[in-house]
Structure 1
Amino acid sequence: MRVNGSWSGVIGLSGGRSFLAHSHHQAPMKTAKPFVGPDGELILYLMDSSPGLFNGDKQEITCTLEAGAELYLTNQSSCKLHPSVEVEAGSRQVSTFYVGEGAFLEYRPEPLVPYQGSRHEGETVVHLATGGQAVVSEIITPGRVGHGEVWAYERMMSRLSVYWDGELAVWDSLLLEPKSWETSLGLLGEYTHVATLWVLSEQVSGEHLRLLQEFLAPCKEGDVYAGVSRLSKNGLVVRLLGRSVWQLEKVMQECWEMVSVEMRGKGALKVRK
């Protein structure tokens, strides 16, 4: 049986505090009780009552941030991707966000863990109005390392599209098919985990790029290999390779903390899990 779980929500702003104006879910997806952060931002955890995504399952997230609203959106745990029995029926995730004028979205989902034989396609679409800002991250693991399932999945596809006032500004696609590799060393070297951090804002400048380049320079000789590029319009992207999730999360958080004060006038939010 194929399962289509979904959540849709609207985040509003009242009295300087963001709130959940509308929420609708379809099992197995649901939300934990939202709470407000120290600066009035809404913090929301998505939950999946199933053990993960199976062959043919689909998961959809649709969220609108009204003008001035702020949302930190994450999930409780990593997303487990189970084997795909049918070649053309892998699992799929689609996340669509509408960020209004002066609104801020931070979407920090937990890592994807593809099991042996799994096929998965993920797509994130971000629509930003003038003055809107968003931070989006993703971590892809090589599989269940403790079970010896490193690069044992069939296919992983990840796509991102960013629109500014209805105009396409960013399109990115990552395809990983381990069985087609003669050796993983030719693609990822000695690293096993892939991560990306997108900072989407009209406030991004060449100075932000310089700061992050200097910060990430030592990473080219350590457990994390990372680099940063400025987008052609309103943003930057940090690409990382590593050997563990916590190392990648640490570097991404430090990158965001370096630029958040200048961009938003306050420090980066730290959420415990």
Structure 2
Amino acid sequence: MSGVHAVARIRATEDGRGGTSLPVLESDGPLALRRTRGSGDEARVMLVGAMSGPLGGDRFAVEAEVESGARLHVGSAAATIALPGQIKDAAYYDVRLRVAEGAELRWLPEPLISARGSDLRVGTRADLAAGARLVLREEQVLGRVGEEPGRLGSRLVLRVAGRVVLDQELGCGPGAPGGWDGPAVLAGHRAVGQLLVVRPEFEDKPMDAQLLGEHASVVPLAGPAALVTAVAQDGLRLRRVLDEALELFDIR
């Protein structure tokens, strides 16, 4: 007995008229992609969950490629909720992003919620050419209201021009390595998020390290990138902090 396997693919290219076309927009199973109205030369795509999940044993993947000169904005229609299923195996959700030189990707999905009894492994890998631009937001909420979280493991990897700029992992919930809820990690908070920004101009003028309120910080990374990390009591407070970070980077 196995879970559901599904892959969604997006490819964005310059259309030759100052805009962005989407020659590949493929949906599979519970992963539905919908093109929405863009702005200027930017194409917009919404990821719509057509079924509950991911459930135990499911394997979902989303692949997006943005070619030179194209601009793509990807969001989601609602939060993704990891749920327990009849199959006791872990579920997997992989995101693979490729951005060419002179291209831009904004990856801004809604939060991932880890429900009690679920077991999910999330992996996000972004491969950027030199001169590419990226805005990537991740938000993870541990449990629904009044509920203990499930097991959640996540890994975020960023490579720019073939060089690893960021590679970090976090494990939370039952069975995760000890200390995940201690003062050095979440300190009792139930929402954690990141905002990863890559801009060529950061190579010569990196962002300054700074605090954003009490539970968030901006850290410059090696190369043309900066990382905002935040924790909060709930998803609403987390979104407010990350929205403030978007304004700090002058991203609207």
User: Taking structure 2 as the reference length, what is the TM-score of the superposition?
Assistant: 0.90
- The equivalent of 1:79 in structure 2 is 80
Alignment of 1:227 with 2:223, yes or no, is: no
Q: Could you tell me which amino acid in structure 2 is paired with residue 184 of structure 1? A: D
> Structure 1 residue 33: deviation in Å?
3.1
Displacement of 1:77: 0.5
| Local SS of the residue matching 1:71 | strand
1:56-83 per-residue CA deviation (whole Å, 9 max, x = no partner) reads: 1111111110101111101110111111
Shift of 1:182: 7.5
Query: For residues 207 and 213 of structure 1, what CA distance do their matches in structure 2 show?
Result: 15
Q: Is the CA contact (8 Å cut-off) linking 1:197 and 1:238 kept in structure 2?
A: yes
Q: What is residue 140 of structure 2 aligned with on the other side?
A: 140
Q: Which has the higher strand share?
A: 2
| Unaligned 5+ runs, structure 2 | none
The amino acid across from 1:139 in the alignment is E
The equivalent of 1:95 in structure 2 is 95
**How big is each residue's C-alpha offset from its partner over 1:97-134, in whole Å with a ceiling of 9 and x where there is no partner?**
11011111111111111111111001111111111011
Query: Which residue, 18, 21, 35 being the options, matches 1:19?
Result: 21
Structure 1 distance, partners of 2:193, 2:116, is 20
Quick one: distance in 2 between partners of 1:206 and 1:11? 28
RMSD of equivalent CA atoms: 2.1
State whether residues 84 and 119 of structure 1, in contact with CA within 8 Å, keep that contact through their aligned partners in structure 2.
no
On the 8 A contact 1:84/1:90 being kept in 2, the answer is no
Structure 1 segments, 4+ long, off by >3 Å, are: 84-87, 177-187, 205-208
Partner of 1:165: 161
Which one is further off, 192-201 or 174-183?
174-183
CA, structure 1 residues 233+248, in 2 after alignment: closer, same or farther (shift >3 Å)?
A: same
In structure 2, the residue matched to 1:107 is 107
Indicate the residue corresponding to 2:195 in structure 1: 197
Unpaired stretches in structure 1, ≥5 consecutive residues: 261-267
Aligned: 1:239 with 2:229? yes
- Decide whether the 8 Å contact of 1:105 with 1:133 is kept in 2: yes
Tell me the residue number matched to 2:31.
29
In the superposition, relative to structure 1, how do residues 207 and 201 fare at CA in structure 2: closer, same or farther (>3 Å)? Answer: closer
**Contact 2:10/2:26 (<8 A) preserved:** yes
Match of 1:131 in 2: 131
For 2:247, the equivalent position in structure 1 comes to: 257
Change (3 A) 1:208 1:168: closer
**Do 2:8 and 2:61's aligned partners in 1 also have CA atoms closer than 8 Å?**
yes
For residue 84 of structure 1, report the CA deviation from its aligned partner.
5.0
Shift of 1:175: 1.2
CA distance in 2, matches of 1:98, 1:179: 33
Q: Answer yes or no: is the 8 Å Cα contact 2:26–2:33 preserved in 1.
A: no
Mapped partners of 2:69, 2:139: distance in 1? 28
SS at 1:141's partner residue?
A: strand
Partners in 1 of 2:238 and 2:245 — Cα distance?
11
Cα displacement (A) at 1:190 = 4.1
Equivalent residue of 2:168, what SS? strand
Structure with higher helix content: 1
Shift of 1:177: 3.2
